[in-house]
Each structure stands twice: as C-alpha cells, then as structure tokens.
Structure 1
C-alpha cells in the first residue's frame, strides 16, 4: 500500500482508500461472503469514478445516475448491478438433489482467498443462536492445486480451520485438473503419472496435517480426473456437504461435470 501511495503522488493520480460500507451488507447478492461485499464496493467505486471522469463526449442518463435505492441509500444503478452479478465457481452453492448432496464451490487459490473461502463456508452452515442445533451433514473436501509449497500452505489453512472447529472431514478427495470433456486435451501417460504424483503428495501432506487419531480425520482418496472425483463423491457420499476449492480450473471442471449452465439458477 505504501508503494501504491508513493506512485500515486509521483504521477499525480488521485488515490482513494475504501473502508467497508455497511450499506453494501444490506444488498442481496448471488455471491455470498463478506469479501464479496467488499469486492462489490470496490467495483462500484471504480465505475463511479470512471463515470465522473469520462470524456465530455460521452453522455449519460443523469436521471438514472441520480436515482437512489431507498433501502441502502446507494445509487440505484449500483444496487441493480450488484444484485445481478454472477461469478460461477466463486462462493457458489449447488444443490445436487439427485445425489442428496450440496456443493460449496469456491475457486480460491491463494492463502488470502482460502481464508475467505473458509469464512464463507462457515457462514453458510452456521446455525442461528436459539434454534435447536441439528447435526451437520458429513463434509467432503475436494481439492486441487498445481502443487508445491502453495498447495501445502493452503491445505494447512484448511486443516487448521477444520481442527479448530472440530469439523470431521469424512472424505478428502484429490484429483488433477483433467476434465472428461471430449474436446479437452488429454495428458499422455507420463504427464498423467506426474499429475497423479502431485496429488499423492497432497494426500501425504493432508495425512500429516490431519492425523488418523484427529477429530477431523476421515478417509482420503486420490482419483484420476475431475469427472472421476465428482462421480466418486456422488456414489459414496450421500447427504454430504462438498467443499470444492484450491483452483479455479477445479471449480470450472466440477461445474462442467455437474452439467451446470454457467449462469443458471443453481440454488
């Protein structure tokens, strides 16, 4: 942030610092999570700035720009845009009634976004105070990352999240980013072995992070493709919640395997 500030001064640019605006929390969004509200606020501010500084030749409907949403006090065009925004594979919930599953899909792939993903999932399953608490459905983790230390760090975050909350991960499933689409490029045998080796490494890391005697420990599976992972979960995990994370490619592959239209009604 300090570097951004210095650069703004050097080039004579205006620099604005946004603090979370409670008004955005009142906007119903298809993408859940506090971080998505903050993203929406940033996007709205960028649009507002662009409209303000647009070339004189560009004209706008001023009456439309001046219209205010009565519930939030924000410009109506901001509220309308935010409520209609969809981002498949990010903070997305899909009900798979045919297999009695609920998929929580977030293509988080950095430490910061994994943390946001965990908070989002926790908010989705948290039961209101004062209500009779029902047992949570079993949890399945479907994870993929390109490998290396980034994958280890994200798995460590996820494991700590589950352990701290005494959440049992009934199954942890790892797969390479290979889809079953006929038009997708298939790896050769050597590439496939290398990709599976990465997933075996994730399996070993997970077993170390979540020992067999841990309250969060369950079965661990490694399968050969995203489609195989989805099939396995649908056939073995009736009634479970499935948290899909670690890669945007994985999120997209799962949506494809579930035959979900990119901008369809999924919940």
Structure 2
C-alpha cells in the first residue's frame, strides 16, 4: 500500500463531518468487537505484547513502517505526573526556534504535539504549532484512517484479535495514537512530541523507532493493574521507551530515589547513548519565570530544557546550549508556557469567585495540587469550597483523604465551608459529544454511587475535628457550578480529582451546550 496520504482519501470522506467523526470515535470506547476478540484468547497469551503489536499492524495497513516516522524527529516523554507539563514546556521552547522558511534544512517548521487526555475537545490531543487541528482536518484524517482500516486485512493466524479485519477497530486511545502518526506525517511535521498514555513498554505510542530524545518525569504509584504495584515494576515499564542509541533524561525522583538505579540498569540493557539525571536546582535559578504555577513545575521545566537543548542540537538548529546561562529564547518559552487544567486560576470578578483548578488524580499529584491550593489561598478571605470527583479509580476515597490531610489538617490549611461531589457529566442534559465517557459504569453514574461514597468518606474524615461541613451531591458539573454561583462572594473553589471533571468544568464556563 502506498504511503502517500493522498492515495488513501475516500470520496465519502468529503461528506462526513467532525460530529460524525466524534460519534464514530466514541464507539471505540467500548469497542465490542475488539473486546470480544480479546476474550477468546487463552490465559497464556501476553495481551500487553499483543496490544503493542497491533499498533504496528494497524500502521502497516495504513501504509507506514516504523522507520517512516523517524522523519518526524520524535521526542518521547513518560512519567507518572508532570509528563504533560514537561511536553508543554518543551513545545513552548521549541516554538521559539520555529522557522517558517523551508530553505534551511537545519530548522523546525512544524511542531506536532500528541497528549492525553483532552479537556474540552478531542482535537487538543493533536496539536500543530501550538493549536489543536481544526474540525475539518480532524474529520478528513479520521475517516482516511477509518476507511483504510475498514478495507484492509490482517493475517488471521498472526492477529486473531483483529478478525474480522473490516469490523475490528483499535480502541479509543490506540486509534487516536495511530491517527496522530497519520496526521503529523500528512501535515509535514518535522518535530513531534509524544506523551505516553500509560506506562511505556507496551504503550500505544511506543512504536517509535529512533527518537531524538526520551525523558521520564516524576514517578509514582498509579495504574497498578497494568504496571504493577511497586515502584520497581512501574519504573521498569516506564523505561521501556528507551531506545538504542538515543539519549535519555530522568527527573531527580525525590519521592522514589530508588527509581534512578533501576533506570540506569535499564539504560544499559536497552543501549541508550546516555542517561542523565536532571536536578532543577542545577539548571533553573529561582528567578526564572515559568508560565505554569506551582513550585513543583521547576522539575518539569528543567527536564524540558534538557529535552529541547538535546533536540535542537540533534537537528543542527543549535551547535550548543549553555545550560548555566539559558538562551533568551529558552527563557521566553518557559515563561509563555500554557497548560490548562494544571494549577490554573480563573477569576470571575463579576461574581467574586476564584476557581483554583488542578486535574490531580493520583496520590502524588493530589499531594502537589493540594499543597499549591493551600499556599495560594491561605492569605485570602471568603467562603472556601471543594469541588471533587474521581470516577475511574478504586482509590478515590484515598485521594480524598490525602487532599483533606493537606488542605485542612496541615499547618496553614483551613476547613472548607462547602464540599461538592459531582459526576463528570457536563450538563444537566448530558455529556458534550467530545466528553462522552463510556468507560465508566453507567449505573454508578446514574445512581451517584461514588459521589455518595465520597460524601460519606468526607464526613468520616471530619469526625476527628468535630466538624460537619455541608456536603452537596450533584448529577452533573453544570449543577455544581450553579450552586457555587449562588454563594455570596468572595468565594474560593478548589477543583480537583480528575482531568475529566476539569475539562467538563471549562466547557461549562464556555457556556456552549450542544
């Protein structure tokens, strides 16, 4: 099959809309055919290995070989927390070196960024030169992939889970990963930054053949059902993005220093050209301004500096970078970085409401986000409100307990005057199409089971201080926002627990109900 994207355009593509694409994409969240095919496999089949092999196969059916993607000049970033912010810092720095002229072969003209999850629109996952691709292009490329996978075949013996080939499609994240490669190749991207979804070794993004640089942000205990329950097993999986001959960087790992030794062993095993431990204090003076709030972002920014410097030297854009005295373009990139939903403050002056928003959803990130809120709100007066949800993790109450300990019990903390628990449903009328979630239990959402458990858990936490804060449960984010709007200001609202909650909140703020 030709790798020329123009050869794969179906005439029907021109008549199908972005909404059609989103409706088709949402069917892949609970892709019945794919799930049923996987169920038929025996217990001795390595499903993780099979899953990554399917990505190779799907891209082959699109006409690509892994080596084809090397012309994207790929940067690969994983971690437990901070990997998205690291990618955002890296993108912002590299934007300062983007050259719109193609006359110089040693230049960057188009920067692609693939991240997850999205907040308001799925197009956020596929950015070019800092902006999500538009709806028309998304629909065009989406159906090019869809139609090609619907009309090509896989060897039934080698890929039993892909049978029948015309019906079985990649699951949601896997499809978007495959789509991203097609989009970036078709659009002529010459620098692509890829954030790993989960883990590393078996993640859908890990078909990258020869990255210019790999990096690991802060590690922690998360996705244990896939990565194991120890920092050792998680580090082993994350370091799976290391590639022979490519340089690698890892943050200093203050919480789990033993991860450094494991990463060093894996670096030797996998043949990286070098592995460097990045300490923020060695690279970023306290005076350096960052576009993202929170002192912890210095670690992510320092990692991004190393990534960008290595990438620019690899491409010949810069002959060298003095990390002891950062170039002005690096400083500008760090200061201009934007990454919504992470330690973000939105001030609604007309209603005297300050929204402190962070998508923290792991114990480590809850620790960081809660500390940030405590620090920035401690000198403010007014009514304090918590808006929280975590629909997908079994340890939702543990996350809430960590938040309570830092925001309320620790020195400088203060009680909330109201606590609100909602689902991730956007509006009282239902989800926005881009935010539909079929991977959660509809019964749990409809019956507010987790929200009631969280409310009860909060009451139990407050028993020790003899306080009973009014607890409110709402079936959707819109209703929670309306309640906050009814409180007399000034009001400080801490929103956390889920990026899906944060994304829905930002959509409600936009007021564009479908």
TM-score in terms of structure 1 length:
0.81
Identify which of 170, 173, 186 aligns with 2:420.
Answer: 173
Identify which of 264, 269, 280 aligns with 1:20.
Answer: 280
Please say if residues 33 and 119 of structure 1, whose CA atoms lie closer than 8 Å, have aligned partners that are also in contact.
Answer: no
Cα distance in 2 for partners of 1:189, 1:256 equals 21
Cα distance in 1 for partners of 2:459, 2:356 equals 23
Please say if residues 446 and 475 of structure 2, whose CA atoms lie closer than 8 Å, have aligned partners that are also in contact.
Answer: no
Give SS of 1:8's match: helix
What number of residue pairs does the alignment pair up? 243
- The 1:121/1:192 distance shift into structure 2, 3 A limit, reads closer
Give the Å deviation of 1:126. Answer: 4.2
Give the Å deviation of 1:125. Answer: 2.7
Superposed CA offset, 1:181-239 (max 9, x none): 55454889746424x11110111111111228535x42110001011111111112531
Aligned to 1:144: 389
Give the Å deviation of 1:24. Answer: 4.4
Identify which of 468, 487, 493 aligns with 1:242.
Answer: 493
Give SS of 1:157's match: helix
- The 1:97/1:193 distance shift into structure 2, 3 A limit, reads same
Aligned to 2:291: 30
Aligned to 1:46: 307
Aligned to 1:3: 262
Residue ranges of structure 2 left out of the alignment (5+ in a row): 1-258
- The 1:149/1:185 distance shift into structure 2, 3 A limit, reads closer
After superposing the two structures, state which structure 1 stretch, 185-194 or 138-147, moved more: 185-194
Within 5 A, what are the aligned runs for 1:211-222? 211=463, 214=466, 217-222=468-473
Give the Å deviation of 1:12. Answer: 2.9
TM-score in terms of structure 2 length:
0.44
Cα distance in 1 for partners of 2:482, 2:464 equals 25
Q: Which has the larger radius of gyration?
A: 2
Question: RMSD across aligned C-alpha pairs, in angstroms?
Answer: 2.7
Cα distance in 2 for partners of 1:61, 1:159 equals 47
After superposing the two structures, state which structure 1 stretch, 96-105 or 25-34, moved more: 25-34
Superposed CA offset, 1:164-191 (max 9, x none): 3451210010001101255454889746
Please say if residues 381 and 490 of structure 2, whose CA atoms lie closer than 8 Å, have aligned partners that are also in contact.
Answer: no
Superposed CA offset, 1:116-159 (max 9, x none): 112211231344xxxxxxx6322100001025542111111111
Aligned to 1:157: 402
Aligned to 2:480: 229
**More contact order relative to length (CA 8 Å, sep ≥ 6):** 1
Aligned to 2:317: 60
Aligned to 2:209: none
Residue ranges of structure 1 left out of the alignment (5+ in a row): 128-134, 262-267
Cα distance in 2 for partners of 1:145, 1:185 equals 15
Q: Is 1:257 the equivalent of 2:508?
A: yes
- The 1:6/1:112 distance shift into structure 2, 3 A limit, reads same
Superposed CA offset, 1:1-38 (max 9, x none): 22211011123321111122273432222311111121
Please say if residues 144 and 176 of structure 1, whose CA atoms lie closer than 8 Å, have aligned partners that are also in contact.
Answer: yes
Please say if residues 341 and 503 of structure 2, whose CA atoms lie closer than 8 Å, have aligned partners that are also in contact.
Answer: yes
Give SS of 1:73's match: coil
Aligned to 1:111: 363
Cα distance in 1 for partners of 2:459, 2:491 equals 21
- The 1:40/1:186 distance shift into structure 2, 3 A limit, reads closer
Cα distance in 1 for partners of 2:398, 2:301 equals 28
Cα distance in 1 for partners of 2:266, 2:436 equals 43
